[in-house]
């Protein structure tokens, strides 16, 4: 069986549509000037993908599939369809551990990491209030909370 990346060399892909693969995650990017053109191109690629998936007996979880439209759209284009189900437009989507929002400013990622760090800090309150030596408390803080703040945070 050939992978989607090797199949991409043989398929007649749409112009301006890029495939990004990492492990079992895939991301399709389209960059025409108008949103309706991008949606149409992506829908044609999704239809080609379904044909390949049927032929190679590969499944996709449609409920985990999301669509993100960047830019300043006042009118949302029609929803994408995959296996007869509509793919919902989202304001932010997680991809490889990073929250990507429609403004592409990393605001959603910063908010997400801050929320996780606050939750971790609350969980560590009992440890920090304990009678452990100060050095042990600082080590726990550095190892547990700082790592969550630093993961994919913009510098």
Domain ranges of the chain: 1-90, 106-155
Contact (CB, 8 A) for 110 and 155: no
DSSP 99: E
Give the integer Cα–Cα distance in Å for 55 and 52: 5
Instruction: Collapse the DSSP code of 77 into the 3-class scheme (helix H, G, I; strand E, B; otherwise coil) and give the result.
Output: coil
Average pLDDT of span 102-119: 80
Contact (CB, 8 A) for 128 and 122: no
Spell out the residues 6+ positions from residue 135 whose beta carbon is closer than 8 angstroms to its own: none
pTM of the model: 0.59
The tens digit of pLDDT for each residue in 77-100 reads 888 888 888 888 888 888 777 788
Q: To the nearest whole percent, how much of the chain has pLDDT over 90?
A: 1
The reported pLDDT for the residue numbered 8 is 47
Query: For residue 106, which phi and psi values (nearest 5 degrees)?
Result: 70, 10
């Amino acid at each position: 069986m050939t992978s989607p990346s090797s199949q991409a060399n043989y398929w007649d892909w749409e112009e301006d549509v890029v495939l990004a693969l990492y492990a079992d995650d895939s991301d399709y990017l389209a960059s025409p000037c108008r949103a309706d053109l991008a949606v149409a191109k992506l829908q044609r690629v999704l239809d080609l993908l379904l044909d390949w998936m049927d032929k190679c007996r590969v499944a996709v979880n449609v409920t985990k599939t999301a669509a993100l439209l960047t830019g300043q759209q006042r009118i949302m284009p029609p929803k994408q369809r995959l296996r007869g189900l509509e793919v919902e437009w989202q304001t932010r989507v997680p991809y490889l551990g990073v929250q990507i929002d429609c403004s592409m400013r990393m605001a959603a990622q910063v908010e997400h990491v801050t929320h996780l760090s606050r939750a971790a800090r609350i969980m560590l309150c009992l440890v920090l209030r304990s009678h452990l030596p100060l050095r042990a408390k600082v080590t726990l803080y550095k190892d547990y909370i700082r790592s969550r703040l630093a993961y994919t945070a913009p510098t």
